Structure 1
Amino acid sequence: MNVELLEPDRERLWSELHDLARLSEADSAGWTRRVFSEPYRAARDWVRGRMRDAGLAVTTDPAGNIVGRLPGRHGGPPLVTGSHTDTVEGGGRFDGVVGVLGAIEVVRRLRETGTQLDHDLLVVDFLGEEVNPYSGSCLGSQAATGVLTADTLDRTGVDGKRLGDVATAFGLDPDGLLAPTWAMQRLHGYLELHIEQGPTLEQRGLDIGVVTAIVGIERFLATFIGRADHAGTRRMGDRRDALVAAAKAVLTVEREGCAGPDSAVATCGALRIEPGAENVVPGRALLAAEFRSEDQTWLSGVRRRVVDEIARHSAENGVELLVDWSADNPVVPTNPSVQNLAAAAADELGASWLAMPSGAGHDAAHLAARCPAGMIFVPSRDGRSHCPDEWTDAAQIATGVHLLAASLVRMDQQATVDTEFAGPR
């Protein structure tokens, strides 16, 4: 077919992006819509409505993912696309949202042009892709693909709450989160549209990034247990200051990241001090940190190196250390066939593109274990993301949505996206 006909309605798409942005937490900066919050619940209801308006049959799977189905001519293993609509605190309007609303717009254009795919097309708004207080992310895609475990639901975050209890209060069934609803279902392929969240495409003046790999991510929650004392009467040499030990751990994390390969980054993102008064020596501190890299060898060695050093510093300060590690995913290459068809579709549309890795984690990393999976990026102004200044122009988003449509058509027309893919495992 002539994929030029699938060009999105830019004004409609742009309007809906901003309509969804209004469903945010009023007392937080930017466009905050954290998982399990009431604005997130309202946004999910809004997304269900947009899916139905586009002609999708909408359900919510046991993992809490919102799934819209567009029937194909022949059925069989479905094509899947989508992303997420939750945000970090103080987040922007485009991260994840472009992939969900862009996919809905693709469905509209397929129906408006009378284009029917051979395979069913699933549009998914995955539950809780962003990192939550329990050192986890991609809750919906991990649950659906069988990665989520009972241990994950037992995690207690820096907020002192247990993930399973928070999910239950939001209306989710913990047993459903542990039921791998997609693990034994064969999928034809997965393609996710996303903003780059980095500066490469803008700096090079390019329209599209064809993602080659998604970085691996290792996270830890460290608890430092010292002794609370009066800040005026407890002498420096006799203190068991939990915050001092945590501060040394922050520097350890930074040194590890700086000494790693070019793709390595290390971040301390959350710190809680107890009791949290300036006239009390901190008796307890909780620190959340993460490491990311395309180099799996370096990433695999992080746990031992970091734990050894922060344990030594903690012992020097008379502080007990507890460390709980979690791995979001190892380094995940995207499927070469999906890369090639997306690049070919970009050429067909006259869009300039670059093969590039993703420094951010995505639901695609978990879908890649179940089917041939890929991603396409659109530029981010100044490379900014996870902040209110996050921005991508309407024309750039429209180009990405057009490419998503053209790529899905190409995927649909192939008898199998990757003849070497062995199916669910």
Structure 2
Amino acid sequence: MKTTPEVNAARLLKSVADFAAIGATPAGGVNRQALSVEDRAARRLLVERALARGFTVFQDEVANLFIRREGRDAALAPLLIGSHLDSQPTGGRFDGALGTLTAFEALEALADAGIETDRAIEVVAFTNEEGSRFSPGCMGSMAFAGVANVTDWHSVAATDGARFSDELAATLNDLPEAEISPIGHTISAFVELHIEQGPILEREGVPIGIVTAVQGTKWLEVAFSGEAAHAGTTPLEFRKDPMAAAAAAIVRIQGDIMPSDPDARLTVGRIAAEPGSINVIPGRVSFTVDIRHPDATILAAIERRVRDECQAAGERLGCKTVIEQRVDMPPGRFSPHVAQAIEDGCAAQGIACRPMISGAFHDALFVNRIAPSAMIFVPCRNGVSHNEAEFVTDDHIMIGARALLGAVVKLSCE
């Protein structure tokens, strides 16, 4: 190597500001939802900057966008780094975009230093990680990893009524400079930088989290069916009240599962009552349960506990209980080798770091199924994310970029 590559602080911070202006909201956040006009504008800006540096750009059939800097040995599989550019409707400027922009800065830093890596390096901006406009989320990484087929989503409607197939075509056509390739290609490894979206790093004063695993997730929808009746004339012994059953079940699972296991997460996020009249005992009440745990065995046990408590509450209160599973995502364990490369890069630069488990799933969870992967977390103020108040300090942006660059140097030359 000719010299040591260095992150250009002014350039990176300007990039973060420039991309934050695309879809900027009055409250300081970003509304840049997947395959929207704003998303296309962000992609175009990234492509223009890539072409100006002499990098190659291409996209696949689900609009995952790739920027490639060649290595000395074209026979070696490329190292993949990056994240996503889309946001929540009232999202922050750092979620996803920071990972993509620090990855691009790594390419620029290597080019500035005249360093030729053994293998090519590709920056990726995955399509629709957030899932806010089109569901499900992580479409791009799921398709890339062969977990799902893009044709299955063609008829999906956006929250604004647009068809996925139409918006996908418009997004692909908006970048004629980027040749379209088939979905999925061999890579050597994947590293994704992301904001933590939690309070641990900030609370402990540690600037870098090395993510070694992602919690498993199960989503359940619980429905109690009873008997609608007059609120004023129906005595207790004649009631079959699904709201009472739902309340009893929620109290039991909320009061025990998380308090007894610090690694467990349980959330009742949505409740609906029918007919929803103030003076009618509901005939049907449904609610969702989001369960997460890094251990698959314990996750399964928590699901059984939730099911048992709900069934018991329904029986006690004379209601029929139906429980349907909406999501079943097993825990993901990242590559120790990639995690060690990140740790080694941090150690070489005197950057403090600690291992972490991610409570949210990310594109890396799916890419990990086809190639060794790991993640880098940087702190965000008060752990706030998916919110216009989301904030990462300039110092933490720079430290994260340096940690990523250190890992890239190691993984691209082995």
- The answer as to 2:164 corresponding to 1:167 is yes
Q: How does 1:40-119 map to 2 (within 5 A)?
A: 40-75=39-74, 76-119=76-119
Deviation at 1:214, TM superposition (A): 1.9
Distance 1:119 1:388, change over 3 A: same
Distance 1:371 1:384 in 2: 30
Deviation at 1:18, TM superposition (A): 2.5
Q: How does 1:9-408 map to 2 (within 5 A)?
A: 9-24=8-23, 26=25, 30-35=29-34, 37-75=36-74, 76-132=76-132, 136-148=136-148, 153=153, 166-171=163-168, 181-182=183-184, 185-222=185-222, 246-248=246-248, 250-251=250-251, 253-255=253-255, 257-259=257-259, 261-271=261-271, 278=278, 287-314=287-314, 316=317, 318=319, 321-328=322-329, 330-408=330-408
Deviation at 1:158, TM superposition (A): 12
Q: Deviations over 1:280-306 (max 9, x none)?
A: 665665544322222221112233332
Aligned AA (1:12): R
Whether the 8 Å CA contact 2:157–2:163 is kept in 1: the answer is no
Q: Deviations over 1:261-295 (max 9, x none)?
A: 32111123344556656566656655443222222
Whether the 8 Å CA contact 1:128–1:139 is kept in 2: the answer is yes
Q: Deviations over 1:190-218 (max 9, x none)?
A: 11111222233223322322222222222
Report SS of the residue matched to 1:413. coil
Distance 1:304 1:155 in 2: 34
Deviation at 1:393, TM superposition (A): 0.9
Q: Deviations over 1:170-192 (max 9, x none)?
A: 3369xxxxx9932xx43211111
Aligned AA (1:10): A
1:409 maps to: 409
Distance 1:270 1:54 in 2: 48
Gaps of 5+ in 1: 174-178, 415-425
TM-score (norm 2): 0.81
Distance 2:206 2:64 in 1: 33
Q: Deviations over 1:107-136 (max 9, x none)?
A: 122222222222121111112223558874
TM-score (norm 1): 0.80
Q: Deviations over 1:21-46 (max 9, x none)?
A: 23337599943444455544444444
Q: Deviations over 1:72-93 (max 9, x none)?
A: 2212211100112233343322
Whether the 8 Å CA contact 2:62–2:168 is kept in 1: the answer is no
Deviation at 1:51, TM superposition (A): 3.8
Distance 1:361 1:259 in 2: 23
Distance 1:23 1:298, change over 3 A: same
Distance 1:276 1:282 in 2: 7
Aligned AA (1:181): I
- The CA RMSD over aligned residues, in Å, is 3.8
Distance 1:326 1:110, change over 3 A: same
Whether the 8 Å CA contact 2:129–2:138 is kept in 1: the answer is yes
Whether the 8 Å CA contact 1:21–1:93 is kept in 2: the answer is yes
Distance 1:112 1:159, change over 3 A: closer
- Number of residue pairs matched by the alignment: 402
Distance 1:150 1:284 in 2: 36
Q: Greater Rg, structure 1 or structure 2?
A: 2
Distance 2:42 2:149 in 1: 27
Whether the 8 Å CA contact 1:77–1:187 is kept in 2: the answer is yes
Q: Deviations over 1:314-373 (max 9, x none)?
A: 463635535233123x22222122122211111222212222322222211111121121
Aligned AA (2:6): E
Whether the 8 Å CA contact 2:143–2:150 is kept in 1: the answer is no
Identical-pair percentage: 32
Deviation at 1:241, TM superposition (A): 6.0
Distance 1:301 1:62, change over 3 A: farther
Whether the 8 Å CA contact 2:34–2:134 is kept in 1: the answer is no
Distance 1:71 1:324, change over 3 A: same
Deviation at 1:230, TM superposition (A): 7.2
2:175 maps to: none
Distance 1:263 1:171, change over 3 A: same
Deviation at 1:388, TM superposition (A): 2.8
